[in-house]
Amino acid sequence: MGRRGYPPEFRRKVLDLLEAGRAATELAHDLDISTQTIYTWRRQDRIDRGLEPGLTSGEKAELAAAKRRIAELETELQATRRAIELVREAAPPKDGSQPSR
């Protein structure tokens, strides 16, 4: 997996240089980042500015947060279901009858 975590200021400066006429390959070489990274940043910037269709950065962040929350809730639900199974196995019925065999 590629390196993550370039600061937003760095990305903005790279995009500004790109818009000023510098070639992506030249920037990539000078800054030791891949040209694909630069093209990805440029595409996302164009989406964020409404020039291209796609999910904005804010929408992507919101979607990622929702997916994380769904995963947490699914884990909690799985744990709750397992706890219910264990309680049913360990506890006798309340009405005093014997479990069926």
pLDDT for residue 101 is more than 80: no
pLDDT of residue 94: 76
Query: How is residue 51 annotated by DSSP?
Result: S
Average pLDDT across the chain, whole number:
91
Does the pLDDT at position 71 exceed 50?
Answer: yes
**Domain covering 1-54 assigned CATH 1.10.287 in the classification:** no
pLDDT at 60: 97
Structure tokens at 34: 């891949």
pLDDT digits (tens, 9 = 90+) for 11-57: 999 999 999 999 999 999 999 999 999 999 999 999 999 999 999 99
Question: Which has the closest alpha carbon to 39: 25, 54, 55?
Answer: 25
Contacts of 63 (CB under 8 A, 6+ apart): 55
- The DSSP letter of residue 54 is S
Query: Helix or strand or coil: residue 27?
Result: helix
With H, G, I as helix, E, B as strand and everything else as coil, classify residue 93. Answer: coil
Domain map (residue ranges) of the chain: 1-54, 56-90
pLDDT at res. 2: 47
- Supply the pLDDT for residue 35: 97
